[in-house]
Amino acid sequence: MAAAGLSLFFPGAGHALLRDWFRALVFAGLYFSAVWFFFPVEQMASASSFSGMMDVVNTETDTMSQFFIMFIALFAAIDATFRALGFPPESNDQTDGPSCPECGKGLDEDLEFCHWCTTRLEPVDPDAEDVDEAEREEPVHN
């Protein structure tokens, strides 16, 4: 939920929290571009206080421009929320190594926990895997 709140405050910040750098840059760039094109930036910069800047925004911009800026922030918050909850689920085909059984993201083999969702991982014993394979290969005699 922190990702959604950050994205409402500043689009792209929630994605940065989730380490989704490409989406963070896209939403931040879209937001700054929309502010530049739809808001009277020069008049806002010349305002002496924050309340003066908000007065300029309210008097000099139309409702559609304000709606467009709010839509970008809301869309960024919704997208960050879904990303934080794991939707859409990422396929395991993207990782070359092992993946977390809980969240499905790639693991760092040196750690004993998933650095994405903090799930504690059981250590893998390579000898146990060899025993399991040997048991499967032996024929059962009746």
Do residues 9 and 70 share a domain? yes
Do residues 66 and 6 share a domain? yes
Q: How far is CA 139 from CA 36, 44, 127, 130, in A?
A: 73, 81, 21, 16
Hey, what are 16's tokens?
């940065």
Q: Above 60 in pLDDT, residue 28?
A: yes
Residue 139 lies in a domain: no
Three-state DSSP class for 18? coil
Q: How far is CA 70 from CA 8, 34, 97, in A?
A: 9, 10, 41
**How many structural domains does the chain have?**
2
Q: What is the DSSP letter of 90?
A: P
C-alpha 66 chain-centroid distance: 25
Q: Are 101 and 119 in contact (CB under 8 A)?
A: yes
Do residues 8 and 45 share a domain? yes
Do residues 43 and 79 share a domain? yes
Q: What is the pLDDT of residues 76-119, one digit of tens each?
A: 999 999 988 877 655 544 546 788 888 878 888 888 888 888 88
Residue 131 lies in a domain: no
Do residues 10 and 78 share a domain? yes
Do residues 70 and 111 share a domain? no
- Residue 119: give the domain boundaries: 91-125
Residue 141 lies in a domain: no
Q: Above 70 in pLDDT, residue 135?
A: no
Instruction: Give the pLDDT of residue 3.
Output: 84
Rounded to 5°, the CA angle 117-118-121 comes to 115
Query: What is the reported pTM?
Result: 0.58
Do residues 24 and 49 share a domain? yes
Q: Are 3 and 80 in contact (CB under 8 A)?
A: yes
